[in-house]
Structure 1
Amino acid sequence: MYNRGYTRYSFAYGGNNGRSPSVYSSVERSGWRPGSRFSTGGGSTLYSNGYDYPDGGGVSSWSRPGGRTSSSTTSVGRFHFNGPRATSSAGGSGSYYKPSGGSGFNWWGTSTNTGRRPQRPGNSFELKPVSDGPLKLTNIDFLTAENGREHHTDEFEEHNVVRRGQPFSVELHFEKKYDEGEDTLQVELHFGDNPLPNKGTLQRMPVGKSLEKGKWSAALESSEGGYAKVKITTPPDAIVGKFHVVIETTSDGKTFRSRKTDDNTVVILFNPWVKEDMTYIDDEAQLDEYVLNEHGYQYYGTSRRIGQRPWNFGQFEPKILDVCLRLLDRSKMKAESRGDPVQVSRIVSKMVNSSDDGGVLTGNWSGNYAGGRSPTAWNGSVEILRQYYERNRPVCYGQCWVFSGVMTTVLRCLGIPARSVTNFDSAHDTDVSMTIDNYMDENLRNIDGGDSVWNFHVWNEAWMARPDLPEGYGGWQAVDATPQETSDGVYCCGPCPISAVKNGHVYLPYDTKFVFAEVNADKVYWLVDRRKNLRKLRVAKNAIGAKMSTKAVGSNAREDLTENYKYTEGSDQERVAVRTAVSHGLKPNTYDDVIENEDVEFDIHADDEVFIGENIHVTLTMNNTSSEPRHVTAHLTARAMYYTGVPAHDIGDLEKDVTIPPNGEETVEMTYTPSEYLDQLVDQAIVKVHAMAHVDNTGQVYSGQDDFRLMSPELTVRAPAKMTVGEQVTAEIEFTNPLDVTLSMVEFHIEGPGLQKPKKISHTPIKPGETVRVMERMTPRKPGKKTIMASFTSNKLTQVTGELDVTVS
């Protein structure tokens, strides 16, 4: 029923020359509903939004509250009555008004007189509700740009994304005017398939006048006409994931509930900008680096020759958030645990590998990568995660730095500050002794003892509070997705408090014993006699854990984190930490035996800076500190190694008897040419030289080793230093073959967040000394500082990379 003294205005949108209007559907989406047809010189349908307005003249335009004028599909806020009267050719009551100007399609207005004298043209009047039905919602505007700026989520290109513990706004559009005094609103957030209030997966928030800090609540910000702007806040421990938004209205005793749709959803993430969140960091530069930065580095090689390669984390790239949320869903973790970064990071470390529950990556350290891609060929996480999302099966193949890169992406995407960390000379303790035990027989042959030392191992650190532990163990936590050992029956590791590792407090969760051994175990050498008795030969106290590396905040430099994990090698504090840790292991009496006096000192050394294709030189130096001559039998072997410490191929060996004069020094040297080692190398081009020696006069036995990485050439990347969004540019990648052999199975890989989707480019074989150039067109999508990353693989050379920083405006 119409209100007395008001007129219901409607619009007709008609095509000239009888053409049908092309925008009826968009008109309807904006809240207008079709009614009877009438003639305007072309076929037209009458549209009404159900509002009554003060009596007035013809309609020529309308505008939303705030004066924003529209001429097509936006829901109406105000009408301006100033158009000339036109002749109506439709039957029934009312007069029609045609707006002046315009071409093509014509807008027509109609009014139905309700009994009052029309007011003068030129006036503007507010909407008045019609009290003949419920207050129906037509649309939710999630104000993505506004909320994105406030919540540091504006880089996401998909979804409505906010962070917990911080208010965000939505604008509700209704079919008729919202009356704050008469109508009631309720916002509901639904998580999962079966949301329940007692599980925290269903939240009902009546829209009040003010928000309740730290709780689920909603408050009215403003309203005008058919619009209501509502502010919503979530607690700082809210569940992280995708919520459906449902609006319930009550008007004149009639209730309306909106339906769950894919459009009306909001994704809630961790919020390290909010003090009450467990992931809070009080440092804007660190937040920029560990949450928002999509570009980083992975460090590899050996502690003496550290390599650096760029990595595209790409946490804001399209579909990455979708796959991160899918991982949490697939893990079957309890919904109430999804607000706890301790539990979420532990689950992510499980789901990034495919050993349990069909996770992202399949590991492969065999050197045979048929059916997948060599781990050294990946430039970043984006292609891996997208492939997993699209094919719904694990991606082949990964090794530690790939697992770490993907985990950094997932954690940063979810809002947990994270970084990739490389530990050089990284131990793998298989028997929980927290020592790395090496055994040899009486003939100085190595006996496999199960423990190993990786040239490097890459894991992650995630920042969070640890309310489950005593005070002092919050902050950086080690988490590791590489499947090495099981934890609670599955392949995951962490979160392990770094401060607990440093102090040897290995009894604290999670997996602190394993992480301690990786970074600060002593390396113990044992001689096994014929009766299987053990004689402790030597304890290397500084052989494990060196040059722990991550990308520095705000720069491309390497930051050394070693002091975070352990005190200075050999210091009293460091020795106390080691003995404390070992006392909780399976060999607590390791340090009870006393090693007999040794008077010959040994040192094995290989040249540091050797490129693939150059000669390798190795020297064993023996220093006799006694006043009598010493006769030594020395045995040196060189092997190509996988970076995990597993031998791949023998390169050569040498045995030599040497007599060292009193207080004198002797050396044994080896040289290997490219023809001797090139065909033996595997992925990382790492060579291990192992020296074993026996002093005949005293029975002293020595065992030592030196690992080194042969360096690879670099790619040269060229492109315009300054680019513009939407304008195509060409990048050039250049490579020169430094070897004396032809390279086959050649592939270039190129990508860059906001610049270029990951792409593989196959190339013909490259002859010795030949220079090749690959051209690739790209069109920037996002402004800001960006990085083009490229890598090269072939049958003889891998781990060849290059990068170029550019600025996009």
Structure 2
Amino acid sequence: MYNRPYTRYSFAFGNSGRSPSVYSSGGGWRQGGRFTSGGSSLYSNGYDKPDGGRVSSWSRPSSSGWTSSSVGRYHFNGPRTTSSSGGVGSRSYYKPQGGSGFNWWGTSTNSGRRPERPAISIEPKPASDGPLKLTNIDFLNDENGRAHHTDEFEEHNVVRRGQPFTVELRFEKTYDEGEDKLKVELHFGDNPLPNKGTLLRMPVGKSLEDGKFSAALDSSEGGYAKVKITTPPDAIVGKYHVVIETMSDGKTFRSRKTDDNTVVVLFNPWVKDDMTYLDDDAQLGEYVLNEHGYQYYGTSRRIGKRPWNFGQFEPKILDVCLRLLDRSQIKAESRGDAVKVSRIVSKMVNSADDGGVLTGNWSGNYAGGRSPTAWNGSVEILRQYYERNRPVCYGQCWVFSGVMTTVLRCLGIPARSVTNYDSAHDTDVSMTIDNYMDHNLREIDGGDSVWNFHVWNEAWMARPDLPEGYGGWQAVDATPQETSDGVYCCGPCPISAVKNGHVYLPYDTKFVFAEVNADKVYWLVDRHKNLRKLRTRKAAIGNKMSTKAVGSNARHDLTENYKYPEGSDQERVAVRTAVSHGLKPNTYDDVIEDEDVEFDVHADDEIYIGQNIHVTLSMKNTSSEPRKVTTHLTARAMYYTGVPAHDIGELEKDVFIPPNGEASVEMTFTPREYLDMLVDQAIVKIHAMAHVDDTNQVYSGQDDFRLMSPDLTVKAPTKMTLGEQVTAEIEFTNPLDVTLSMVEFHIEGPGLQKPKKISHTPIKPGETVKVTERMTPRKVGKKTIMASFTSNKLTQVTGELDVVVS
């Protein structure tokens, strides 16, 4: 322990060609030469210390601390650490003024975050007649980060609203609590004003005031003072400049606004009075803190899932999220309202308005961008948007949802991605899905569409703008489908309102209701263009709604949150209530149907791409009379949005069914017949139409299924050490009898590996290939390596590996 005045410096070392990044209360480094590295030794060729002298070399790292061999020549012999900037670490020490020794006192594994100083004896400068001048603000990120659940952020000083945080103020002379008056100011935005709630002035008192902006002295010693600051639970979310004002003997000092002296305030779902409050630690861990998750795709009969890197704590992600709010021009006073923020985020994630993050593309032609199936997560998308300052190409619904989950979690709003299978797109606000066929039993295109799956988000918040009972999970959707209030956004829509058919409540509840609980109505158009209602399928829409389970990699079904059991009295009441507010309120007049032939169309289960597709239309005659049935079967490759891509084949056949007998029609397609027809999701739709000549009964049914893809095998050490490089291997075998071209592997993992694309040569039929990638863990804890594969014939090929870093 030193009893002399000291100056604190931080040295940093890093990749070849980089200058040390330094945080110093006594001034910065002045570069005297190029910073290089060679082998395990790191050299600084001439850097001037702030108080004179030169650091002329760095020695090989070992286990000891800082030493001094001569005046002006210092060596670092401490252990090396790594950081997000690719191998940059920092060490700090105290240099006693007038002495040559050093007091080693701490490390930081995140460059740019200052460690807390130890307790030491201080003899500051003697008192002078001038004002008390501030020389440094330490935001105590380790202490505040743990308390505020923000310790995973690697950049910025980050806290959550409605909860006290502590800063340590350093002055150039002794602070006297009785004589020196302190005031803390928080400035939000470019033109902060008290009447707008963007300029907050807080005298430092003896205790904090609940629910208000306030500041209180925590402790002081010599030239240091610790001050606690609290924000109200409805505070504006964003970046504030911190200004300190001192008054001594009538003389005032005000610190300047600098980029270093800022604090980012987020929503706080851990605080009861915050509108995002969620009283469940496990769910908070999943829906706010977890950077890894899944996106579910495919069909309700063949659910697929792929890993997704949300990466909300990765470097630059918070910067992007704050920029989105700034660019949206949302009013400052609205930035504390989770309802308004989530709605504006749903607008800003797509690029249809105001230059948002992602451009949607469902055409199958992704020239000038990347196929939506090639993304493994949100991090690369958001960083690219931040760096290039223009929309990223391209996204589809699960990509929009993944990015929105990242943004909401980063801002502190609990959020999850949700997949709805057999998801309706009601274009005429009837809250029914209408399908038409002509007198030849062929489908007429142009009706409402049903997506095989659609992915949106749920965000957790109170709804003070609505009657009691509508808080909790809210549907929000960033995929640009329909406009709302003139822009492409959707929600927040209360899930409880959807379940009960209360479609008159904001926002966009009619649209969401139709997605999950509309009835599917089949119409026959005769030769004279007259409509005949054939049948209503009441359970065709909104099935197996899926999200990642809390604390595990399993699928959690959310269907019962959106609707009562199909066919129940409560469910029918909800549907009729909703339809009564639509444009076709009489659609639900019952139709008496004379049906004595039962039909079922289905393909084999678990068909992998490259295998034959076998389809069967089964028929059972429940009458005591024979029946003649005219059948028509078609097979089409489909976009997952329900839009036909290519015809694979069709079959027409007349069938005679004996009394109380059974019959079937079958068709088979080989890979050579269907492979060139497939598009992104490898979804095939089988549509069966049948007409019973004797009774005029008409049947329309379908089976949509996903041809399953092989998995990638990811290999790496499952136990890793922070800062130690490892090698990961990705293995893939071509299951097709054709050569795959345009081959790309994508690999990433939060805290492990930045997103990276690896191009590969064409892969022959049956060939197994392996690609390797080196990575250096920079965060401890459970992490996931995620990989995907794309080619001209195969997409949605993914793999993952969970590892633990210590």
What is residue 3 of structure 1 aligned with on the other side? none
Deviation digits for residues 65-120 of structure 1, max 9, x if unmatched?
xxxxx97458x9xxxxxxxxxxxxxxxxxxxxx76x759xxxxxxxxxxxxxxxxx
Q: Of residues 472, 477, 484 in structure 2, which corresponds to 1:475?
A: 472
Q: Tell me the secondary structure at the aligned position of residue 417 of structure 2.
A: strand
Over 3 Å counting, the alpha-carbon distance change for 1:215 and 1:27 in structure 2 is closer
Deviation at 1:23, TM superposition (A): 14
Over 3 Å counting, the alpha-carbon distance change for 1:635 and 1:24 in structure 2 is closer
Deviation digits for residues 565-611 of structure 1, max 9, x if unmatched?
11111111111111111111000000125233222221111112110
Q: Of residues 609, 629, 639 in structure 1, which corresponds to 2:636?
A: 639
Are 2:753 and 1:771 equivalent residues in the alignment?
no
CA contact (8 A) 2:125 2:172 kept: no
What is residue 462 of structure 1 aligned with on the other side? 459
What is residue 542 of structure 2 aligned with on the other side? 545
Over 3 Å counting, the alpha-carbon distance change for 1:263 and 1:24 in structure 2 is closer
Within 5 Å, give how 1:23-62 maps onto structure 2: 28-29=26-27
The aligned amino acid for 1:310 is: P
Moved more, 324-333 or 524-533: 524-533
Q: Of residues 426, 431, 437 in structure 2, which corresponds to 1:429?
A: 426
Q: Tell me the secondary structure at the aligned position of residue 482 of structure 1.
A: coil
Structure 1 residues not aligned, in runs of 5+? 1-8, 14-21, 31-42, 48-69, 77-97, 104-123
Deviation at 1:128, TM superposition (A): 7.1
Cα distance between partner residues in 1 of 2:49 and 2:671: 84
CA contact (8 A) 2:26 2:50 kept: no
Cα distance between partner residues in 1 of 2:592 and 2:584: 17
Over 3 Å counting, the alpha-carbon distance change for 1:797 and 1:10 in structure 2 is closer
Cα distance between partner residues in 2 of 1:320 and 1:73: 36
CA contact (8 A) 2:301 2:705 kept: yes
Cα distance between partner residues in 2 of 1:46 and 1:497: 61
Are 2:275 and 1:278 equivalent residues in the alignment?
yes
Over 3 Å counting, the alpha-carbon distance change for 1:474 and 1:554 in structure 2 is same
What is residue 109 of structure 1 aligned with on the other side? none
Deviation at 1:263, TM superposition (A): 0.5
Within 5 Å, give how 1:403-552 maps onto structure 2: 403-552=400-549
Q: Tell me the secondary structure at the aligned position of residue 390 of structure 2.
A: coil
CA contact (8 A) 2:546 2:557 kept: yes
CA contact (8 A) 2:461 2:472 kept: yes
Identity %: 87
Q: Tell me the secondary structure at the aligned position of residue 174 of structure 2.
A: coil
What is residue 44 of structure 2 aligned with on the other side? none
Are 2:204 and 1:186 equivalent residues in the alignment?
no
What is residue 675 of structure 2 aligned with on the other side? 678
CA contact (8 A) 2:124 2:172 kept: no
CA contact (8 A) 1:536 1:595 kept: no
Deviation at 1:445, TM superposition (A): 2.2
Deviation digits for residues 151-208 of structure 1, max 9, x if unmatched?
0000000000000000000011111111111111110001100111111111110100
The aligned amino acid for 1:207 is: V
CA contact (8 A) 2:745 2:759 kept: yes
Deviation digits for residues 451-505 of structure 1, max 9, x if unmatched?
1010100000000011111111110010000001111111100001111111111
CA contact (8 A) 2:6 2:95 kept: no
Cα distance between partner residues in 1 of 2:474 and 2:221: 49
Deviation digits for residues 548-571 of structure 1, max 9, x if unmatched?
000000000000111111111111
Within 5 Å, give how 1:149-228 maps onto structure 2: 149-228=146-225
Deviation digits for residues 37-68 of structure 1, max 9, x if unmatched?
xxxxxx99999xxxxxxxxxxxxxxxxxxxxx
Within 5 Å, give how 1:233-244 maps onto structure 2: 233-244=230-241
The aligned amino acid for 1:336 is: E
Cα distance between partner residues in 2 of 1:24 and 1:577: 62
CA contact (8 A) 1:12 1:44 kept: no
Deviation at 1:530, TM superposition (A): 3.4
Kindly report the root-mean-square deviation, in angstroms, between the aligned alpha carbons of the 2 structures.
Answer: 2.2
CA contact (8 A) 1:247 1:257 kept: yes
Moved more, 353-362 or 596-605: 596-605
Cα distance between partner residues in 2 of 1:617 and 1:743: 25
Are 2:139 and 1:142 equivalent residues in the alignment?
yes
Cα distance between partner residues in 2 of 1:430 and 1:157: 45
Cα distance between partner residues in 2 of 1:134 and 1:193: 28
Cα distance between partner residues in 2 of 1:204 and 1:224: 24
Are 2:758 and 1:732 equivalent residues in the alignment?
no
Over 3 Å counting, the alpha-carbon distance change for 1:652 and 1:728 in structure 2 is same
Over 3 Å counting, the alpha-carbon distance change for 1:655 and 1:230 in structure 2 is same
Q: Tell me the secondary structure at the aligned position of residue 28 of structure 1.
A: coil
Deviation at 1:449, TM superposition (A): 3.8
Cα distance between partner residues in 1 of 2:418 and 2:24: 52
Are 2:749 and 1:746 equivalent residues in the alignment?
no
Cα distance between partner residues in 2 of 1:227 and 1:312: 42
The aligned amino acid for 2:579 is: V
CA contact (8 A) 2:430 2:583 kept: yes
Moved more, 444-453 or 459-468: 444-453
Cα distance between partner residues in 1 of 2:425 and 2:749: 34
Within 5 Å, give how 1:43-122 maps onto structure 2: 72-73=94-95
What is residue 93 of structure 1 aligned with on the other side? none
* Structure 1 length-normalised TM: 0.86
Cα distance between partner residues in 2 of 1:619 and 1:567: 32
What is residue 782 of structure 1 aligned with on the other side? 779
Deviation at 1:129, TM superposition (A): 4.7
Q: Tell me the secondary structure at the aligned position of residue 283 of structure 2.
A: helix
What is residue 247 of structure 1 aligned with on the other side? 244
Deviation at 1:131, TM superposition (A): 3.5
User: Which of the pair has more CA radius of gyration?
Assistant: 1
Over 3 Å counting, the alpha-carbon distance change for 1:666 and 1:46 in structure 2 is closer
Deviation at 1:24, TM superposition (A): 13
Over 3 Å counting, the alpha-carbon distance change for 1:304 and 1:172 in structure 2 is same
Over 3 Å counting, the alpha-carbon distance change for 1:196 and 1:624 in structure 2 is same
Are 2:711 and 1:714 equivalent residues in the alignment?
yes
The aligned amino acid for 1:355 is: A
Are 2:645 and 1:648 equivalent residues in the alignment?
yes
The total of aligned residue pairs comes to: 716
* Structure 2 length-normalised TM: 0.86
CA contact (8 A) 1:437 1:449 kept: no
The aligned amino acid for 1:137 is: L
Deviation at 1:646, TM superposition (A): 0.4
Structure 2 residues not aligned, in runs of 5+? 9-19, 29-47, 53-91, 103-120
Are 2:602 and 1:601 equivalent residues in the alignment?
no
Within 5 Å, give how 1:656-695 maps onto structure 2: 656-695=653-692
Over 3 Å counting, the alpha-carbon distance change for 1:802 and 1:12 in structure 2 is closer
The aligned amino acid for 1:668 is: V
CA contact (8 A) 1:346 1:492 kept: yes
CA contact (8 A) 2:5 2:124 kept: no
The aligned amino acid for 1:498 is: I
CA contact (8 A) 1:278 1:465 kept: yes
What is residue 342 of structure 1 aligned with on the other side? 339
Deviation at 1:11, TM superposition (A): 8.8
Cα distance between partner residues in 1 of 2:325 and 2:596: 59
Q: Tell me the secondary structure at the aligned position of residue 686 of structure 2.
A: strand
Cα distance between partner residues in 2 of 1:396 and 1:415: 27
Within 5 Å, give how 1:547-562 maps onto structure 2: 547-562=544-559
CA contact (8 A) 2:243 2:257 kept: yes
What is residue 306 of structure 1 aligned with on the other side? 303
Over 3 Å counting, the alpha-carbon distance change for 1:256 and 1:539 in structure 2 is same
Cα distance between partner residues in 2 of 1:596 and 1:11: 92
Over 3 Å counting, the alpha-carbon distance change for 1:342 and 1:215 in structure 2 is same
Over 3 Å counting, the alpha-carbon distance change for 1:397 and 1:606 in structure 2 is same
